[in-house]
């Protein structure tokens, strides 16, 4: 199963997407769930890894920020490298939240209807947030 999670800046997950089959790609699932539109309506932006590059089609007002990627024809400038370092530093706390979710291990081993898996993961998310904030 593939779940996309939107964590708080401290790394605690605050929202998850519906379950998708494990062979789905992250960017396809994000497009299907209309992540950019939902983020734009809610107001906050998001920092993402390079797997989400080119997801946001509004280059004037991006809602999803990814790091820059070097290519054979374009080496990164010092400013782009520094921007990547700053972005990765901010994403580090969020990655700890993802590691915590992965320690639950059941999404990788679960064999059930995606609708039921979504309900189960969201219930666990509520319990985890209750434990964190109480």
132 or 60, which is more confident: 60
Whether the pLDDT of residue 85 is over 70: the answer is yes
Its pTM surpasses 0.85: no
Long-range contacts of the stretch 1-7 (C-beta < 8 A, 24+) = 1/107, 1/108, 1/110, 1/114, 1/117, 2/26, 2/29, 3/107, 3/118, 3/121, 4/29, 4/30, 4/33, 4/35, 5/97, 5/98, 5/101, 6/46, 7/94, 7/97, 7/98
Instruction: List, for residues 11-35, the tens digit of each pLDDT value.
Output: 666 777 777 777 778 888 888 878 7
Q: What is the pLDDT of residue 108?
A: 58
Instruction: List, for residues 113-131, the tens digit of each pLDDT value.
Output: 777 777 877 787 777 667 6
């Amino acid at each position: 199963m593939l779940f996309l999670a939107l964590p708080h800046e401290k790394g605690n997950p605050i929202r998850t997407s519906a379950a998708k089959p494990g062979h789905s790609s992250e960017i396809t699932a994000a497009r299907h769930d209309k992540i950019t539109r939902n983020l734009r309506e809610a107001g906050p932006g998001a920092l993402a890894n390079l797997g989400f590059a080119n997801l946001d089609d509004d280059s004037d007002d991006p809602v999803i920020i990814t790091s820059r990627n070097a290519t054979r024809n374009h080496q990164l400038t010092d400013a782009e490298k520094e921007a990547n370092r700053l972005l990765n530093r901010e994403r580090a706390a969020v990655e700890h939240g993802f590691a915590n979710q992965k320690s639950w291990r059941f999404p990788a081993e679960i064999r059930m209807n995606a609708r039921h898996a979504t309900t189960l993961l969201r219930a666990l998310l509520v319990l985890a947030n209750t434990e964190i904030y109480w």
